[in-house]
Amino acid sequence: MKVKETAEILPANQHHGSESGKELYQHVLDALPLFVYRVNLLGRVTYANNALIEMLDTRLENLLGKTAYDFFPPEQAKTYLDNDQQVVDSQEAFHTILESVQIGAKRRQHVEIIKTPILNLSGEVVAIQGVFWDISKRVLEQGQLLKNQTLLKAHAEHAPDHVLLLDRNLRVVYINHTLAGVTIDDMLGAYLPDLAPGYNEYIAKKLNDTLTTGKMGVYETQYTSPLGKHYYFETRALKLNDAPSDVCLHLTSTDITARTLYEQKLEQAAAVFTYAKEAVVIADENGRINNVNNAYLDITGLES
């Protein structure tokens, strides 16, 4: 990015009047909440916007003509001036993040800065304009988020349940364990509902309802492994409001295969008991009848 001197590139009819193009440009800079300054090729300040002047609690005339050596320790000042020279030599913008910078009365932990060359109509660099802003809060929040993600990952990798993170398109961006015989590599990027044929529309509806309402969704599904084995899972889906933009849903899936198969066997046994041709009576240890089947009722003429 390069900037040409405003007054030189404006049409002639804009050079005069109540407010020139250069004055308008300066008004725009003064209205910015960012800190803006300009130095000449000797590194001396020729301009500072209102935000920077107020932050330093000074006046513009107290800044004009000063260099980085007037604001920073020698070694630090030399680095900044070397960056300026890099902008002059390359005629390209310079972008970096500075750590632990003392600016005015406040030490700022992280400052993002962009320096751009200002060219005249001949294409020569005549000055350097710098724009910087405090990103300490953002870096702190990103660090905390990374810490939380690291803790979550560590917890998830040792959790007995399956933990999944999905994006807005219901594609898997993280999973802690192999699911129903499908490897982690095959799961990543997959559209989750497609992994459960016969349940895909049901799963998609449940997950989209959670995204829309923000309410936890609970559902049971059957997955079939590539080898044909059936698995059953109970899943709880939560919408994530403060997560990175590529993560929208947190899923915890509990393998309920053993429980489901046991329940199915109980149902089968109950059906066999109920509709058996022989009369069957179930009693407790004291001889009290707990249950009888249909054949017993037919023989005795009793009602259940």
Provide DSSP, 220-276.
EEEEE-TTS-EEEEEEEEEE-SSS-TT--EEEEEEE-HHHHHHHHHHHHHHHHHHH-
The CATH number linked to 220 is 3.30.450.20
In a domain, 265, yes or no: no
Q: Are residues 7 and 63 in the same domain?
A: yes
Provide the residue type at 72 as one letter. F
Q: Are residues 134 and 198 in the same domain?
A: no
Q: Which range marks the domain in which residue 121 is found? A: 3-139
Q: Are residues 173 and 132 in the same domain?
A: no
Res 232: pLDDT? 86
Cβ 237 vs Cβ 210: under 8 Å = yes
Res 260: pLDDT? 83
Alpha carbon separation from 45 to 36, 141, 193 (Å, rounded): 11, 34, 61
pLDDT digits (tens, 9 = 90+) for 108-128: 678 888 999 999 888 899 999
Count of the separate structural domains present in the chain: 3
Provide DSSP, 139-204.
HHHHHHHHHHHHHHHHHHHT-SSEEEEE-TTSBEEEESS-BTTB-HHHHTT-BGGGGSTTTHHHHH
Res 170: pLDDT? 92
Q: Are residues 134 and 172 in the same domain?
A: no
Res 106: pLDDT? 60
Q: Are residues 14 and 120 in the same domain?
A: yes
Cβ 174 vs Cβ 164: under 8 Å = yes
Closest CA to 222 of 264, 190, 189, 184: 264
In a domain, 69, yes or no: yes
pTM over 0.75: no
Answer with the one of 106, 139, 172 that is the final residue of a domain: 139
| Cα 229 from Cα 181, distance rounded (Å) | 9
In a domain, 262, yes or no: no
Res 122: pLDDT? 85
Res 64: pLDDT? 95
Q: In the chain, which stretches have pLDDT less than 70?
A: 1-22, 24-25, 100-108, 139-159, 242-245, 272-273, 282, 290, 296, 304
Burial class (CB in 10 A: 0-12, 13-18, 19+), 48: buried
Res 91: pLDDT? 92
pLDDT digits (tens, 9 = 90+) for 152-163: 665 556 667 888
| HSE-up of residue 81 (Cα within 13 Å, Cβ side) | 19
Q: Are residues 67 and 28 in the same domain?
A: yes
Instruction: Give the tokens for residue 172.
Output: 């898997």
Res 14: pLDDT? 35
